[in-house]
Structure 1
Amino acid sequence: MGNQLRYNWATLGTGVIANELAQALEALGGRLYSVANRTYAKGLEFAEKYGIGKVYEQIDDLFEDEQVDIIYISTPHNTHISYLRKALASGKHVLCEKSITLNSAELEEAIALAEQQGVILAEAMTIYHMPIYRELGQIAASGRLGELKMVQLNFGSYKEYDMNNRFFNRSLAGGALLDIGVYALSFARWFMSSSPHQVASQVRLAPTGVDEQAGILLMNEEGQMATLALTLHAKQPKRGTLAYDKAYIELFGYPRGQKAVITYTEDGRQEVVEAGQTSQALVYEVTDMERAVAGQGNEMHLDYTRDVMKIMTVLRKDWGLTYPEE
């Protein structure tokens, strides 16, 4: 292993994120220790591409491998809880792709298991690790922007209107909320003083019964509000706006932002804030996870993950949207 990686990482899944993970570990001077995938052939192919020494014939072999320290799970949402149960029970630290589980009950079960085993469980939520959000958080905390009043978030993807596509497939826990809404909610939670306790929404369901479009309105006890516009069948700018009483912040290209503009209300003066690099998203996540595992502070923000999951669970209950596993 390279000198900067302290732990043996395994990937469960070989999709886009797994490729980014492999590249991030290489950038940190190491490489993935092992790979598990539903299809063994794909696992072999992935291992060859990144020079990974170990491929498991069965996924369960991964959980039994004593050499593995941290497992990154990037399989479909609906499979997460069953893998989390096995990984955590076998004493592995887990970084799990969003949405970490389908609902709050599953998440609470996983958290209890992680606590019982004394391991770190975290959601791979890029917003909690990108330097730009930390920088903006510090600027906001300094008080120079005044109090946060309103958060506005747009996230629209244009997905082909094919009901077999995973984004619209109920059997694969499809829908806008768990796929893109989780980013918008995590963004809102990062800047709001406390978790929203009032949740209202409008939803448009796809023919499969999953949410293809939603408007969400949130408010917390401080009276800070957030409005979210999500859609899976129309492109929108991925823009986050934070309105404080003395200025507003615009951040483009979230979740992996690297640049924001602050406009001051009094004189219209603008300040550009740049921090981190979009392309390094996984490097930041890996670094924070290793620090957490090493006991050097915990920047994984499982508390925010929990708050966001509660909101998503309430919303889907309001919409009457359940997945087969529930």
Structure 2
Amino acid sequence: MGWTDVDDVNDVVRWGVLATGGIAERFVTDLAELEGAEVVAVASRTEASARAFADRFGIGRAYGGWDGLFADPEVDVVYVATPHHAHREAAGRALEAGKAVLCEKAFTLNAREAEELVALARGRGLFLMEAMWMYCNPLVRRLAGLVRDGAIGEVRTVQADFGLAGSFGPGHRLRDPAVGGGALLDLGVYPVAFAQLLLGEPDVVQAHARISPEGVDLNTGMLLGWSDSGASALLSCSLEADTPLTAAVTGTGGRIEVPRGFFFPERFTLYREGAEPEEFTNTDDPHSLRHEAAEVMRCLRAGETESPLVPLDGTLAVMRTLDAVRDRVG
């Protein structure tokens, strides 16, 4: 199917899923809620894992290895759900095979790898999007629209945190620098992406971290600054502490507070001087990944190679900030 000339919004979009972990299970489950979405193939490094996943979700074809999925003529778009150290290779090979790609976050291990993927997709005229489901969440979109429209005046501060009190031993992938372990890439990407959704890319990055014996960050604090506006963002992530998981945006004319689970909010409250607090609620399932899948399908049907909700330039900007944070903390 040639996506550049599709004009029928009812055309079925055929998905191939790469990897069989927990996030892939969630994605396939949520994808079943979307009309016009069909998962036609799954691939894993072992055929047994791929077949078990396919049998569980009623998927027609299972590949032990990536090449079969990339060569499958029935696959329109590949969802890359591997650990992030494999994103560059997996997404790159899918693009080289002519497939559209939705790639999990953190998008890659660093900005250089991200730039390579973006250049490859743009050079071949293929769709590519980071699976930043937060950006596609209807309530996050509403919040960003209010800020953009001046509901709280000029933004001065953003605060956000994401920490888990996990028992991640030295052998856990989150403690392994070879596979991009640490709090920053798994958790810190959310606070950073939230701040940059509202303020764009910072020109000042300061950070401090507690580093594990293996050399990954366990607990990281970040202070980002925007010289043109004087705005700042105070952000944190942790693999050792159960932080509030909240966010707040304060401007010259008010503030917005997002309770626990800011990256999949059920509600937020707008406070403005002289007015009663306004609560905005999400009537949809805030945990669902279907909103990002629906955006991919909308783009493919419209012949768009980049999503305006999750623009590639924004993904690159976040990766540059994450690189700068790691540089500051050593």
Same fold by TM-score greater than 0.5: yes
1:14 aligned residue: 20
Structure-2 residue corresponding to 1:300: 310
Q: SS where residue 242 of structure 2 aligns? A: strand
Written as runs of structure 1 = structure 2, the 5 A alignment for 1:213-228 is 213-220=219-226, 221-228=228-235
Q: Is the 8 A contact 1:22 1:31 kept in 2?
A: no
Q: Residue 284 of structure 2 aligns with which residue?
A: 277
1:167 aligned to which of 170, 174, 184 = 174
Gaps of 5+ in 2: 1-8
Q: RMSD value over aligned CA atoms?
A: 1.6
* Cα distance in 2 for residues equivalent to 1:296 and 1:86: 21
Aligned to 2:197: 190
TM-score when scaled to structure 1? 0.92
| Among 256, 267, 270, the residue aligned to 1:259 | 267
Report what 2:320 is aligned to. 310
Cα distance per residue 1:191-221 (max 9 Å; x no partner) = 11x3101000111101211000111000123
Work out whether residues 24 and 280 of structure 1, in 8 Å CA contact, stay in contact via their aligned partners in 2: no
Rounded Cα–Cα distance in structure 1 between residues aligned with 2:214 and 2:103: 26
Q: State the identity as a percent.
A: 34
CA offsets 1:254-302 (integer angstroms, 9 cap, x no match): 21113101122x2473110113534453110001011122236633322
1:140 aligns with 2:120: no
Change (3 A) 1:5 1:316: farther
Q: Distance in 2 between matches of 1:189 and 1:124?
A: 16
Tell me, in whole angstroms, the C-alpha distance in 2 between the residues paired with 1:307 and 1:5.
Answer: 33
* SS of alignment partner, residue 73 of structure 2: coil
- Rounded Cα–Cα distance in structure 2 between residues aligned with 1:5 and 1:99: 30
Secondary structure at the counterpart of residue 314 of structure 1: helix
Q: Deviations over 1:77-105 (max 9, x none)?
A: 11111112211111111101101101111
On the 8 A contact 2:12/2:38 being kept in 1, the answer is no
| Superposition map of 1:1-326 within 5 A | 6-29=12-35, 30-192=37-199, 194-220=200-226, 221-252=228-259, 253-264=261-272, 266-267=273-274, 269-279=276-286, 281-295=288-302, 298=307, 299-320=309-330
TM-score after normalising by structure 2? 0.91
AA aligned opposite 1:170: P
User: What is the CA distance between 1:317 and its match in structure 2?
Assistant: 2.1
Q: Deviations over 1:31-80 (max 9, x none)?
A: 31100011211111111111100111321111111221110011111111
- Provide the aligned length of Structure 1 versus Structure 2: 316
Separation (CA, whole Å) in 2 of partners of 1:112 and 1:285: 22
Question: What is the SS of the residue equivalent to 2:302?
Answer: coil
Task: Name the CA distance, whole Å, in 2 between partners of 1:116 and 1:276.
Answer: 40
Displacement after TM superposition at 1:154 (Å): 1.5
> RCO greater where, 1 or 2, for CA within 8 Å and sep 6 or more?
2
From the superposition, tell whether residues 156 and 51 of structure 1 become closer, same or farther in structure 2 (CA, over 3 Å).
same
CA distance in 1, matches of 2:299, 2:317: 20
| Structure 1 runs, 4 residues or longer, greater than 6 Å off | none
SS at match of 1:234: coil
> C-alpha distance in 1, partners of 2:11/2:225?
41
User: 2:266 touches 2:286 (CA, 8 Å); kept in 1?
Assistant: no
- 1:313 deviation in Å? 1.1
**Counterpart-to-counterpart distance in 1, 2:103 and 2:168:** 28
Q: Distance in 2 between matches of 1:112 and 1:148?
A: 32
Structure 1 distance, partners of 2:216, 2:287, is 32
